[in-house]
């Protein structure tokens, strides 16, 4: 493994009530110079201290990967629980904690993060960010080079209920479109990245035409982005032709790879591999044989979203994608548990819309809309 920059991660979290209004704080420093590179404080709704602390760790690890694709991180936390659990010395009994730990472990390669317990007095910066966020002053800021984003020096974003304030920060909107129907869709077959990659059926092309007609009438789309798979590119091309826009390809919004299950129905997988299927349904970090876990999809989809927000600031993007990325982005916007992907249904050619605010908040405006198809 190529090891890049050495970073110090400081993270904390807390809630006022446990559970109660909760927030996390996370900081990244250069391990050699001690220079402050990144800081973030954000609210996560009503939750517990432990969940908030894990969220701080996850946010810091994601930012570390943004700073360097192969960092070596020392995570310094004042939570003995998280340090011992992430180091593998304590068993994680609580299901929610286990899922958060798996999410954290999936961000960087094994061995890239070392965990160190520190007294609370040595975690004061992250603790301060927690309290600022809870007091209505969330923030996210890189401190070096062209990584700088979010709030200007000294400014804080309001901690308002999304949609209730008239003074929103910068906002990018993703209109998520699941591709039109394919032969696999009609028979409910697993159809992932690396499989047969079918194009649209006649029904799927009709659905794409209906979406194009609806979007042309409703207006507002500034850019079209599509997964590289055949069915999404075909859907996007039909719509782009109607709207007079070009299509940009984003690899990381492709469908999950289902490995050996690709092309099979759920019933066929259940008959052939009942134990493997049960494990897959029980945890988002378990991939199908030869495939990709939902936790891995979550990481690349989140990275794609951040890139798209930078490429199309304050614009409305039509993102032509698949079931798993749509569910993943909805879950991320709602800060829902990872296993929420198993509790959503997304129809072919359905539309969902999310606003992503510059202060880190998000607002789900619609989900799985299909009225344009009738």
Known catalytic residues are 179, 255
Question: 369, exposed or middle or buried, with CB in 10 Å at 0-12, 13-18, 19+?
Answer: middle
Phi, psi of 38 (to 5 degrees): -155, 145
Tokens (6 digits) for 88: 């593998």
Residue with tokens 């936790």: 295
Number of residues that make up the chain: 374
Token pair, residue 262, equals: 């690709």
Within 8 A by CB and 6+ apart from 104, the residues are: 54, 57, 58, 61, 86
Backbone angles phi, psi at 311, to 5 degrees: -75, -35
């Amino acid at each position: 493994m190529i090891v890049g920059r050495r970073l110090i991660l400081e993270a904390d979290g807390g809630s006022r009530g446990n559970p109660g209004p909760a927030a996390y704080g996370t900081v990244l420093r250069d391990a050699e110079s001690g220079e402050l590179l990144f800081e973030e404080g954000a609210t996560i709704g009503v939750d517990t201290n432990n969940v908030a602390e894990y969220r701080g760790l996850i946010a810091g690890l994601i930012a570390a990967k943004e700073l360097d694709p192969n960092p070596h991180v020392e995570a310094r936390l004042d939570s003995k629980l998280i340090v011992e659990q992430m180091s593998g010395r304590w068993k994680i009994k609580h299901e929610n904690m286990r899922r958060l730990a798996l999410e954290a472990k999936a961000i960087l390669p094994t061995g890239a993060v070392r965990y160190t317990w520190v007294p609370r007095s040595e975690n004061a910066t992250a603790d301060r960010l927690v309290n600022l966020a809870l007091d209505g002053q969330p923030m996210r800021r890189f401190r070096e080079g062209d990584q700088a984003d979010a709030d200007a020096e000294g400014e804080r974003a309001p901690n308002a209920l999304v949609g209730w304030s008239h003074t929103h920060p910068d906002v990018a909107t993703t209109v998520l479109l699941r591709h039109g129907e394919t032969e696999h869709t009609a028979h409910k077959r697993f159809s992932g990245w690396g499989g047969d990659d079918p194009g649209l059926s006649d029904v799927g092309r009709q659905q794409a035409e209906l979406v194009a007609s609806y979007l042309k009438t409703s207006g507002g789309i500034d850019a079209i982005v599509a997964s590289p798979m055949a069915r999404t590119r075909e859907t996007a091309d039909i719509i782009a032709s109607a709207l007079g826009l070009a299509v940009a390809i984003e690899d990381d919004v492709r469908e999950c790879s289902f490995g050996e299950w690709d092309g099979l129905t759920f019933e066929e997988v259940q008959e052939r591999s009942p134990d493997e299927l049960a494990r897959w349904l029980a945890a988002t970090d378990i991939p199908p044989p030869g495939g990709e876990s939902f936790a891995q999809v979550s990481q690349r989809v989140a990275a794609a979203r951040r890139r798209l927000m930078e490429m199309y600031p304050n614009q409305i993007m039509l993102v032509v994608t698949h079931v798993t990325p749509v569910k993943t982005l909805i879950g991320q916007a709602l800060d829902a548990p990872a296993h929420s992907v198993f509790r959503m249904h997304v129809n072919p050619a359905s539309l969902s819309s999310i606003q992503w605010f510059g202060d880190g908040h998000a607002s789900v405006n619609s989900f799985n809309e299909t009225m344009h198809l009738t």
